[in-house]
Structure 1
Amino acid sequence: MGNARVHSLVKLSEVVECIILRRINRFVVEVSIDGSIVNVYINNTGKLVDYLVKGKLGYCIPKHSGKTRYVLVAIKDNDLAALIDTRLQMKAFEVSISKGLIPWLKGCSIVGRNVRLGDSIVDYLVGCSDFNMYLEVKSAVLRRREYAMYPDCPSSRGRRHIAELLRHRLRGGYSAVVFIAALPHVKAFRPNCAVDEKLCTYLHKANEVGVLIKSVALYFNPR
């Protein structure tokens, strides 16, 4: 964040512009494409109150199966765009690891995806030189001035994951939670304690016992 060097991580083809009309449910948004009203898929279940606003310019890519023809992946934010698609966020994060672009993960590689930890499934098991680390990724797409924030609504799933990473650390293991600040022009990440105080309590406890709490910045460049 801040003055960090910018890297191109994932290239998208067949990007289609759309105009946001309304959110129908957690996974479907109604948009206008070339004057036609179309339902598109969205995989980010956050409220996205800053972005799913009628009249906003969005960016879709083709979807080759299911009931919808497109996936809404980004929404214009000033001169760039917020990357709201969680699958693409994670793909970019994985590319960053493989290219050694994240200093605290240099020399590490992903050895497992969607791995069980206690009663939860976490995103990654990362293998480093002399230890393995469980790592969970969270999408921070709420903007408050120069900060990206998470969550944008109470998240029992987020609380459960952080609590599991905390317990693993207390047992002597290594664990981390990474907040993907997928917004352009943000300087830092902040937890949104106003909407989920209990999650913040878990996060503070996790930090105190040595769970790594990190953030990385991503955005979509439509040019």
Structure 2
Amino acid sequence: MSANHPELLKLSSPIRCKILERVNKFKAKIEFDGRIEYAHINNTGRLREHLIRGKTGFCLRFEKPKKTKYRLFSIEVDGYGALIDTWIQGKAFERSLDLKLIPWLKGYRIIKRNVRLNKSIIDYLLRRGDEETYLELKSAVQRIDGYASYPDAPSIRARRQLRDLIRYVEDGGRATIVFMIGLRDVIGFRPNKDVDLEIHKLLLRGSQIGLEIRAIGVYYDLHRSSIRLWNPDVKTLI
């Protein structure tokens, strides 16, 4: 099945490891080759269904190690890798855009990254001709009843970003929030209102006034050491 999914990124020398525990928000204890190491986690979500002792993970070695030598980017799930690393998710989005694999963003290109909008920093400012749109990515790697979901922890930052995006749309601008689903074989995306009801309310309000809400499905192909796109427009239920 993965051969039919476009390859976005090829990863160099990934390391298979065993998850031992999450030490803190940014660090996990792992084991491989009979030794214990620590790996950076580039995802501030709780990741409770993934960071379980004994699960198989995949790491990359930092070229210039700082606090840890490795970054934990994926967890094995049903024969593929759940992509939990938000930086790699962002690179996968950018590559999908470059390869023109996202039909609903046809003609758009990135003109700025990490751009300020009122009190928020938004991931991208895109342009197509005279049209511009602010676009924010959010990582959705939690599965609930067959749906990818966000958030898995309350997020003050996400609420602020949504308020600023909504305000911008109300003033006549264009804005998009994209949920990067790092899981394969989900029915669609829906927000986790049990964890953060305010985010759900803001998404509902945004959908009613023109904030574009999309989801993109990517995963780690552990047999070919690559990140693949399985759906550029996953169904969203708000």
Is TM (by shorter chain) over 0.5? yes
Structure 1 window deviating more from structure 2 (59-68 vs 73-82): it is 59-68
Aligned counterparts, 1:1-223, within 5 A: 6-63=5-62, 64-223=64-223
Question: Is the Cα contact below 8 Å between 1:140 and 1:179 reproduced in 2?
Answer: yes
CA distance in 1, matches of 2:10, 2:69: 20
Q: Deviations over 1:161-210 (max 9, x none)?
A: 11110000011111010001111211211110111111111111111000
Cα offset for 1:153? 1.1
Ranges in structure 2 where 5+ consecutive residues have no aligned partner? 224-238
Shift of 1:33: 1.2
Give the conservation status (yes or no) of the 8 Å contact 1:115–1:121.
yes
What displacement does 1:149 show? 0.3
When normalised by structure 1's length, the TM-score is: 0.96
Give the secondary-structure state (helix, strand or coil) at the position aligned to 2:219.
coil
Per the normalisation by structure 2, the TM-score is 0.90
User: SS at the partner of 1:10?
Assistant: strand
Whether the 8 Å CA contact 1:77–1:184 is kept in 2: the answer is no
The alignment yields a C-alpha RMSD, in angstroms, of 0.9
Amino acid at match of 1:115: V
Residue 17 of structure 1 and its aligned partner are, at CA, apart by: 0.5
Paired residue secondary structure (1:149): strand
* Runs of 4+ residues over 3 Å off in structure 1: none
Aligned length: 219
